[in-house]
């Protein structure tokens, strides 16, 4: 089992100097993937419920926000050579799919094929209104945008006609170095698991204990079989978030079926980053034996 890092790239802490330290120190210690999330705007007051906190509120104090993920990973690509670079998760239905395809392909090209593209449908309705995108149709829009990405990444002349997007014949280069470029689907719902079975190379789960993996993985196995696939066709990544993580817990994640555990890294300053990474060495060693 691999050990990854999930990094909430919140301002004002995520300075260029601190991000460069995270990239070089994580790579030197052999961590597999650096994952970063996305919210283009946040709100002091909102009615939507954040699914990973009991009070329904994202733990982001006023005056903070997340860095844009593709730009952030491009910066990290320039400071690393081997660690993989992942989005967990890009809010695909909020984005223009052609620009997204171009940005991700460029990142894969410039990083020599190190991108893991994680996508989700979002939870914050107010953010959808801010970018003028329909909230109720976000699932269908996501599925369609995945088809647009596939066309642009794999076809010499790409075109698409759908409910939400029309793409006249055009050419987009460079293509991603990876073929296929791994797409990870985030989310805990039946719709998310069905999307993994249809179109994913990975499932990214969040805030689950090892004991909470059995039920969704059993559902996923059935859905994969319906598509003529098995779990060996995908990577199961779990971010414990604020759940406990030590060597024994990592072993339980592996036994439960996880291929990777993505440890929460809270970047405050360079010393705290090094300390947190050093504290994860035992987790790495146990995971490598599983």
| Predicted pLDDT at 286 | 87
| Predicted pLDDT at 61 | 85
pLDDT band at 290 (very low <50, low <70, confident <90, very high): confident
Q: Pseudo-torsion of CA 67, 146, 132, 192, nearest 10°? A: -80
The label of the residue with tokens 């073929």 reads 179
| Predicted pLDDT at 49 | 97
Whether 59 has a pLDDT exceeding 90, the answer reads yes
Count of CB atoms within 10 A of residue 186's CB?
27
Which residues, 6+ apart, have CB-to-CB distance to 141 below 8 Å?
93, 133, 134, 164
* 122 within 8 A of 173, measured Cβ to Cβ: no
Integer Cα distance of 253 and 209 in angstroms? 8
Mean of the pLDDT values across residues 85-97? 98
Whether 191 has a pLDDT exceeding 90, the answer reads yes
Mean of the pLDDT values across residues 88-117? 98
pLDDT band at 288 (very low <50, low <70, confident <90, very high): confident
Q: pLDDT tens digits for 221-236?
A: 999 999 999 999 999 9
Q: pLDDT tens digits for 201-212?
A: 999 999 999 999
* 89 within 8 A of 38, measured Cβ to Cβ: yes
Domains of the chain: 2-288 (3.20.20.30)
Whether 239 has a pLDDT exceeding 90, the answer reads yes
């Amino acid at each position: 089992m691999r050990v990854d890092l999930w990094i909430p790239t919140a301002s004002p802490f995520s300075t260029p100097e601190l991000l460069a330290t995270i990239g070089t120190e994580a790579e030197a210690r052999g961590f597999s993937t650096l994952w970063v999330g996305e919210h283009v705007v946040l709100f002091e007051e909102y009615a939507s419920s954040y699914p990973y906190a009991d009070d329904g509120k994202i733990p982001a104090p006023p005056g903070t926000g997340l860095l844009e993920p593709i730009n952030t990973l491009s910066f990290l690509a320039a400071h690393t050579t081997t660690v993989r670079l992942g989005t967990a998760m890009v809010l695909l239905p909020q984005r223009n799919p052609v620009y997204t395809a171009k940005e991700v392909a460029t990142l894969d090209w410039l990083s020599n094929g190190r991108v893991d593209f994680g996508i989700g449908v979002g939870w914050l309705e107010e953010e959808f209104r801010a970018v003028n995108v329909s909230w109720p149709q976000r699932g269908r829009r996501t599925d369609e945008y995945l088809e647009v990405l596939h066309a642009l990444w794999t076809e010499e002349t790409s075109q698409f006609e759908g409910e939400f997007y029309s793409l006249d014949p055009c050419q987009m280069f460079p293509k991603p170095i990876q073929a296929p470029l791994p797409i990870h689907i985030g989310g805990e719902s039946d719709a998310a698991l069905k999307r993994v079975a249809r179109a994913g190379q990975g499932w990214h789960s969040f805030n689950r204990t090892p004991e909470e993996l059995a039920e969704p993985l059993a559902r996923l196995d059935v859905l994969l079989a319906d598509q003529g696939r098995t779990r060996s066709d995908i990577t199961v990544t779990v971010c414990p978030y604020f759940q406990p993580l030590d060597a024994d817990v990592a072993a339980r994640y592996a036994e439960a079926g996880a291929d990777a555990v993505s440890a929460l890294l809270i970047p405050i300053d360079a010393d705290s980053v090094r300390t947190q990474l050093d504290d994860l060495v035992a987790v790495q060693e146990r995971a490598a034996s599983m």
